[in-house]
Structure formats: C-alpha cells, structure tokens
C-alpha cells in the first residue's frame, strides 16, 4: 500500500494540490495536523482532504481554530492569522476539524502532530527528545510533524535503547526502515521551514516499511496574493518565498 503523508498544510491549497500531483497515484492519504492556520484557504484545504477521505490527527492550530484557548500560546502573527481563520471557516469545516483525534494508529504506524508523549505541543528537535519519544511509541514506527523539518530519527540497528541516527531526506531515494524503530517527519506542505520553499511530504510504502520524501514547486506568489487580499500578517506572507 502506497500512502501520501502530509503535515502542516496550513491552509495552503496551491501547495497541497502541487504535492498531491507530485505524489502520484496513492492508495491512501494520511495527515499529521495543522491543516489550517497561517494560510488563506482553510475551507478549500479541508474540502480537498474530505474528498480524498484523508485520515489524520489534529495539530495545535486545528485545536485553536475550534475555539480552544490554545490560541493563548501563539505568537502575534500566528494569533492574528488564527483569529481570521476562526472568523472565516464554515460550520462544516469547523465540524471536520473538531472531529480530529489527537493520535491515531494505522497498521504499525502511529500518527501524531507533535510527539508521541505530547501529541499537540512538544517539538522534537533533538536526538534526546526523539529517544524519549521512541521509548513510549506504541507501534514500531511513528509519524510526526509540527517542526516543519523533513527528517527521520532511526534507532540504530543492534543499538542500545538511545542510540539514534538522524537521517535527512535524499531526493528521490527510498529509506528502508525494515526492523528498526523510527520517528519520521514529512516536513511541511504549506509552510516549509528548512530553507527550501517547495512543498514537502512523504510517500510511504507500508508493506515494505520504506519512506521517500518528495518536494513540489507551487504557485507561491498566488498564495501570497490570496493572503494579502484577506489581510493576513506580512511576515507570514514573506516567509513562504524563503522557506523559513
């Protein structure tokens, strides 16, 4: 089974459609939350995921969009974008976001937005944090987002419990995780932050325990114009072109 794994779409429909085209034919779409926030197209993105029967989890921005006081922890720009999101989304979008669970297990993969031990908020940015989270992972392998950085933390073969390899994506190459516990981040579809402005995602071969990262160019200027038209924060608009 071939699966497209999408995270941190952040209401960017142009980036979402470009990465779906790049992923090609897949049997399923899984998402890791932050479907909305920052971007100009929350309803269109949720409609697309609904059409695709995507399965996934809620991120901190999705939680905030449903009215949760999670918004208090947002910085000024994220909060301004979230206040706009709350005003603009349809009841149908709100209902879809409200129904997202904090975690999900499909086959031997666990899906969370942030981390297995704190599915909505923790940023996994170090091998220490990855090791602590691998230790509590209920399945052999996990998928997470939130940091917007494409990479994998893989338990070294025959290693003691906390010997972790950090693997960066290689263009077009498949990473075989056979027999190894791993936490894998697809990067962000709608707001990449690794210095590469192209949309980022993962294609997963469930039977082979293999993953491949993909990148897609999209109409960044179109998304920026749509953000400007509805008055979203300037910094959020400019960072899209830089991938930061």
List residues binding Zn ion (CB under 5 A). 8, 34
Which CB, 74 or 180, lies closer to Zn ion? Answer: 74
Which CB, 34 or 41, lies closer to Zn ion? Answer: 34
Q: How far is the CB of 174 from Zn ion (least distance, A)?
A: 26
Among residues 47, 42, 36, 49, which one has the least CA distance to residue 88?
A: 42
The answer to whether 144 and 183 have CB atoms below 8 angstroms apart is yes
Q: How far is the CB of 193 from Zn ion (least distance, A)?
A: 9
Measure the CA–CA gap between 81 and 232, rounded to whole angstroms.
Answer: 6
The number of residues making up the chain comes to: 244
Which single residue brings its beta carbon nearest to Zn ion?
A: 34
Q: How far is the CB of 45 from Zn ion (least distance, A)?
A: 13
Which CB, 44 or 177, lies closer to Zn ion? Answer: 44
Q: How far is the CB of 38 from Zn ion (least distance, A)?
A: 8
Which CB, 17 or 34, lies closer to Zn ion? Answer: 34
Q: How far is the CB of 171 from Zn ion (least distance, A)?
A: 23
User: How many alpha carbons fall within 13 Å on the CB side of residue 197?
Assistant: 15
Which CB, 8 or 43, lies closer to Zn ion? Answer: 8
Which CB, 8 or 41, lies closer to Zn ion? Answer: 8
Q: How far is the CB of 145 from Zn ion (least distance, A)?
A: 7
Q: How far is the CB of 163 from Zn ion (least distance, A)?
A: 29
């Amino acid at each position: 089974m071939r699966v497209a794994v999408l995270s941190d779409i952040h209401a960017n429909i142009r980036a979402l459609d470009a990465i779906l085209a790049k992923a090609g034919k897949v049997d399923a779409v899984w998402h890791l939350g932050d479907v909305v926030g920052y971007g100009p197209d929350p309803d269109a993105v949720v409609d697309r995921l609904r059409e695709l029967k995507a399965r996934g989890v809620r991120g901190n921005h999705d939680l905030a969009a449903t009215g949760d006081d999670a918004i208090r922890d947002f910085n000024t720009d994220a909060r301004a974008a979230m206040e706009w999101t709350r005003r603009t989304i349809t009841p149908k979008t709100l209902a879809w976001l409200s129904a997202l669970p904090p975690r999900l297990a499909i086959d031997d993969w666990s899906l969370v937005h942030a981390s297995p031990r704190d599915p909505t908020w923790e940023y996994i940015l170090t091998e220490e944090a990855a090791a602590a989270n691998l230790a509590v992972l209920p399945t052999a392998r996990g998928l997470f987002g939130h940091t917007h950085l494409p990479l994998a933390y893989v338990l070294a073969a025959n290693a003691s419990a906390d010997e972790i390899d950090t693997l960066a994506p290689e263009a077009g190459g498949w990473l075989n995780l056979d027999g190894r516990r791993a936490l894998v981040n697809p990067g962000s579809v709608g707001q990449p932050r690794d210095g590469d402005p192209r949309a980022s995602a993962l294609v997963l071969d469930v039977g082979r325990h293999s993953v491949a990262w993909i990148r897609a160019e999209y109409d960044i200027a179109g998304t920026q114009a749509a953000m400007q038209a509805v008055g979203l924060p300037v910094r959020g608009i400019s960072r899209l072109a830089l991938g930061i």
